[in-house]
């Protein structure tokens, strides 16, 4: 699939939109890390585009007490691919995560 030819204005708008999304995801990760937002609250809002496009591994690593190793272990035990995003979780995977962490 070829990339569309964008004007400079369209390219700048796309870059600004991407930067804003990254900033919102970083803010959400910070809120999770500080305990302001719980894992169950995040999963309840999984239809929000900011949450939906977040990688599950990044979400787990944001939890207090979880790092790369612990997050990878949980995902491996539940059969979740390391590249999976929240919007791509199946019903069973979602349930298993909620039982484990929710």
Find the angle CA(87)-CA(47)-CA(55) to the nearest 5 degrees: 35
**Which residues, including other chains, have CB under 8 Å from residue 61's CB and lie 6 or more apart?**
67, 68, 71
Q: What is the pLDDT of residue 3?
A: 75
The vertex-54 CA angle with 48 and 56, nearest 5°, equals: 120
Say how far apart CA 75 and CA 79 lie, in whole Å.
6
Provide CATH code, domain 56-102.
Answer: 1.10.8.50
- Quote the pTM value: 0.83
Across the chain, which has 102 residues, the per-10-residue mean pLDDT values are: 83 95 95 92 91 94 93 93 93 92 79
């Amino acid at each position: 699939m070829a990339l569309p030819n964008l004007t400079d204005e369209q390219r700048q708008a796309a870059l600004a939109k991407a930067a804003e999304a990254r900033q919102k995801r970083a803010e959400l990760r910070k809120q999770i890390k500080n305990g302001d937002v719980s894992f169950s609250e995040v999963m309840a809002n999984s239809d929000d585009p900011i949450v939906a496009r977040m990688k599950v591994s990044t979400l787990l690593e944001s939890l207090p007490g979880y790092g790369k190793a612990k997050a990878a272990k949980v995902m491996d035990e539940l059969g979740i691919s390391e590249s999976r995003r929240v919007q791509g979780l199946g019903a069973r995977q979602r349930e298993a995560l909620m039982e484990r962490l929710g």
